[in-house]
Amino acid sequence: MIQYLHTTITAIAISNGAIDGDTIKMTWRDDTGKYYIARHVRLLNINTPEITKAKCKKERIIGKRAKYITNKLLEDAEIIELQYSTRNKDSFGRVLATVYIDGKHLGDVLRCNGVAQPYIKGSKLKHDWCGDKPLQLPKCK
């Protein structure tokens, strides 16, 4: 059996702003010196509510809050760090990455603020942002 090794690349990035709560436009240079300019980066294993295709007003409001929090953290950041694999892209061509802002995991911050849930590719278990079921919150400080 052949095993393919996926090298994880860590890069310091500049934010070009949030598209929504879990998608960011970023510019960075990787370890090899290759530049990625204004590329869409999707947070790995995190899902926030939709804004433009929201199923209800509640989802749209929570989605806008997620985008606001993401933008605010990016604007105030001293260091934005991406961890990604060059082969790890979604069906829209977005780079899938774990994002750290000043050492804090962005996905965890969004979850602690009640505006994000874990995302598992291929899973049919998605949070109903319009319903009354409580969010699965991580241990937050």
State the pLDDT at residue 7. Answer: 66
Give me the domains of the chain, ranges plus CATH numbers: 10-118 (2.40.50.90)
What is the C-alpha radius of gyration for the chain, rounded to an integer number of angstroms? 15
State the pLDDT at residue 111. Answer: 93
State the pLDDT at residue 125. Answer: 65
State the pLDDT at residue 25. Answer: 96
Please give the biggest Cα pair distance in the chain.
50
E-strand ranges in the chain read 8-20, 23-29, 35-43, 46-47, 80-89, 95-101, 104-105, 117-118
Distances (CA, A) of 29 to 36, 38, 76, 101, 117: 6, 11, 21, 17, 29
What is the block-wise mean pLDDT of the chain (141 residues), using blocks of 10 residues? 57 92 93 87 94 94 97 95 86 92 95 90 76 74 69
Neighbours of 29 (CB within 10 A): 14
